[in-house]
Structure 1
């Protein structure tokens, strides 16, 4: 007898098709409007082309592959030679090539024009929706440029390779490479964020010392991100009691030999698994002092200001990616005889999530304008306005605190829309969730950011007053926002000890007011009103927060908010 096929156990139905073949840029009305508003319309065509590329299934697949096939460290060759090499899956290099070809590592510096920072931030936001780990070395390379530009002789040797739009994955002396990446090494075991406790020592082997001189470094770094980079900016002391200085430490020494940077191990991280983070030791490693001796922290903080903005954008990108996946799922999945998107409570959740991403997007794009103004002032020698300086110095760390914190809860809520399918690794939601904490931790944790906000407010009272005056003008017809601003300024008038203890609440109030102002200026009235009603209604009483997503009043048109959020 012919063997009979086993009976079918079930028919596969009501499963959601993968989200692909969509344009990440053109489907985002908030982003396209912000690109126009912030002076980057000249880059819109390139963003639309890139948005289509990132929505292609073969490109989407790169993200999963890069995170399944993690980087591998080889410390020794088969002959016992110390080599400290890393091997990455081809998908990783393809992701970096995509980032680099769009100029996201250097756009405002190699193409200095109005809106260049906004153009770059918009592009970075698109790629943040694809994969997070590959953003790290690109961000650090980008942020190193304004620091290295101040070292004329060194920068003249590096500029072509820093600006190059071709990713060169080879591990070779810089003279033999077409492009380069730069990382940073700040934290040590004993200090973490408190880099002033660093112990790594740098000594000058010759008669010359100070800025531009050669040094030899001995010490360690507890977190040394992207150890495969062609150079790192590293903090060290020139003596046990000297203030910290900053050094350019290349992967290869000038004589072509591998620099004495020993990779001890790669970190086994919760997320960001496609990217290599390491512990290293410097064993008489070659370096060049950049910036003035003893001014290492202010020197590298210039780099950190840019990386913090990228943390905001990276978290906003994660939120956007999770949102469109949730909306796509709800538009296709049927439960209890209705599509999820047609069920009032699910619509409430999705609309609330949509408002959160909209507020994050208008915020980072407004910060991009402030950074554009800063770069323009540096190029022309003009003075930076107090308002733009305040957006950059005060609101950036506040945004880094708030948006990165919101990403944690946001990705969990979006995963829940998928149900059990969201909790398994075959789909993207689990990866988004694991990625969410990192931007809140790297480049200054939440408490560090809130203390930075207080310091910025205290150091630039003129800028803070100009900022609040601007916001009050926007709040004239928005009594809830006006009350929130009153509460914020009352918090700022409290004794210093109370301000520090309440720095998280103060920072939350500040960034929510900033987002509300921006939404009043640029979002549909219904969106702005819903955001203010649900984020600031209790701020006048010094409350705020303490709410889950999906608590919008029924009076708002939640269906329209969702439709505006993801246009297909």
Structure 2
């Protein structure tokens, strides 16, 4: 039999990524002023159409291949020429033309510009081949320069970082990770020496050291930490610098492109990663590399924090964006795939729809959580956030990033299995989406690192009071049918809130931070879903009953009760558990040494 004869599977066809989305049309209607929503929605509909046509075609084309590094020319000269694909460069240009990150600094919609831009990014990210990694760092660097840059940086570099013109725009990297410390940047070895010169961009330094992970190696600039104090000063001895990848940084369009080694940056190798294959990530050596001080000496950690906060929300959005794509594929497939000798579509099989509903539930919860925090970021940047909202932003930024990464990856696998063997095929995009999304569990901090970061803010009584006040006011706003039908669910939510209110009291047990972060994630996502359900009921939205059901299911099925038990368990006999953990991992002989 020829392959063309016999049964022919029906290919699935995805609908407009925005119009068919389970969350965004309703979420944006609630969170944006009516005039803003009416103005930006047509643009999101346009993007939703292009995502499943032009953008996906480009991402899947032969024009997108991994970068290569040519270190030496035929005469043995070190040239470190990084070659990226045509598709990668075009994806970068598309993002810039779409206003990412320009939308955030044009601030046409004031505090709501963040929600609009992040919504656009969420629709695109699953088919953008990780182009939003350098765009996130460009966004963070733009914010640092906006806040702390010298007048010349603000005048000549900031406009390029936020430009919509790819021929003029810059992208930026962020160089923090070094061999000794990983996420512990207090062990940074890179040194920075003042040259006694003041460049047009500010005090000029020379940097020497190794940057172990440098994503966006094809960018025009990077922000980097360098040690201006003593090694024993730890993080207090670090300062922040703007580093051009080529010199001169600003030049005429008619000038030739300077060689890659013109600022004494050596690229030793490209990282061989599990995913994000098209993204050029390298090991770099800085050898008397020119850089310009940003902000005060010795304040490097504080000065780079806007980059971390912004990129963590981009990371959370990447998690939900990849999940959105996987869910959309699985949902579309269920509409065309028949079973039982062709008599029943998957969309009519209750056991199959139950699986898709569980994935849909995760997507809804993570999207509401992430965009709740994005909304707080927009307010903070525009000066409209209350002190309580600023504290809640500080608490929930690491939570959104860690919780979204943890939950989304598992849900993506569930969406893949909903296609059976067809889901395991590379052509449909599941493989790349899952591989790329896995990095969000690590990039900008693992769950453990972020749990410790949350601990630093949650142990502040004022921050915890702000979070608890928001939780109480959200529950108190619940009335009518939601309250009547959700009594048992609200009881679980209140128990979780009570548990978290004392979980961060000193002294804090060493095993508490991780389950505490997961519980804060479950609580916060539930509260944002409740906010939406209350709004839907008050506005008599057609989806009000479904929105209330989403809230109830999420409280019951998100693992909230398990997180409560995990915290309680972490408080009991911690010393014995730590010893037994070591025995489980390293062998029973280890216990005699503890």
TM range, smaller chain: 0.7 to 0.9
Partner of residue 36, structure 1: 29
Offset, 1:464? 2.8
Partner of residue 339, structure 1: 345
2:65 aligned with 1:69, yes or no?
Answer: yes
Partner of residue 485, structure 1: 494
Offset, 1:514? 1.5
Of 291, 302, 306, 1:302 maps to 306
Offset, 1:189? 0.8
Partner of residue 192, structure 1: 182
Give the conservation status (yes or no) of the 8 Å contact 1:66–1:274: no
Cα 1:23–1:501 change in 2 (3 A) is: same
2:333 aligned with 1:329, yes or no?
Answer: yes
Q: Distance in 2 between matches of 1:273 and 1:486?
A: 44
Give the conservation status (yes or no) of the 8 Å contact 2:229–2:298: no
Q: Distance in 2 between matches of 1:120 and 1:251?
A: 28
Q: Distance in 1 between matches of 2:301 and 2:386?
A: 25
How many residue pairs align between the two structures? Answer: 521
Of 135, 139, 149, 1:138 maps to 135
Farther off after superposition, 196-205 or 239-248: 239-248
Cα 1:515–1:465 change in 2 (3 A) is: closer
Cα 1:288–1:537 change in 2 (3 A) is: closer
Instruction: Find the residue that maps to 1:279 and give its secondary structure.
Output: strand
Cα 1:475–1:532 change in 2 (3 A) is: farther
Offset, 1:406? 1.1
Q: Distance in 1 between matches of 2:6 and 2:17?
A: 29
Partner of residue 393, structure 1: 394
Offset, 1:28? 1.5
Give the conservation status (yes or no) of the 8 Å contact 2:238–2:297: yes
Of 265, 270, 275, 2:269 maps to 265
Partner of residue 564, structure 1: none
Give the conservation status (yes or no) of the 8 Å contact 2:114–2:377: yes
Partner of residue 224, structure 1: 214
Q: Distance in 2 between matches of 1:66 and 1:248?
A: 35
Instruction: Find the residue that maps to 1:493 and give its secondary structure.
Output: helix
Give the number of the structure with larger relative contact order, counting CA–CA contacts within 8 Å between residues 6 or more apart.
1
Give the conservation status (yes or no) of the 8 Å contact 1:475–1:481: no
Unaligned runs of 5+ in 1: 1-6, 169-177, 545-568
Q: Distance in 1 between matches of 2:155 and 2:469?
A: 39
Partner of residue 563, structure 1: none
Offset, 1:80? 3.4
Partner of residue 154, structure 1: 153
Partner of residue 554, structure 1: none
Offset, 1:219? 0.5
- What RMSD over aligned residues (CA atoms) do the two structures have, in Å? 2.4
Partner of residue 502, structure 1: 512
Offset, 1:497? 5.0
Q: Distance in 1 between matches of 2:166 and 2:266?
A: 24
Partner of residue 556, structure 2: 533
Q: TM-score, normalised by structure 1?
A: 0.86
Q: Distance in 1 between matches of 2:397 and 2:467?
A: 13
Partner of residue 249, structure 1: 243
Q: Could you report, residue by residue, the CA deviation over 1:515-555 in whole angstroms, capped at 9, with x for unpaired residues?
A: 212222224222222222322673696369xxxxxxxxxxx
Q: Distance in 2 between matches of 1:404 and 1:540?
A: 17
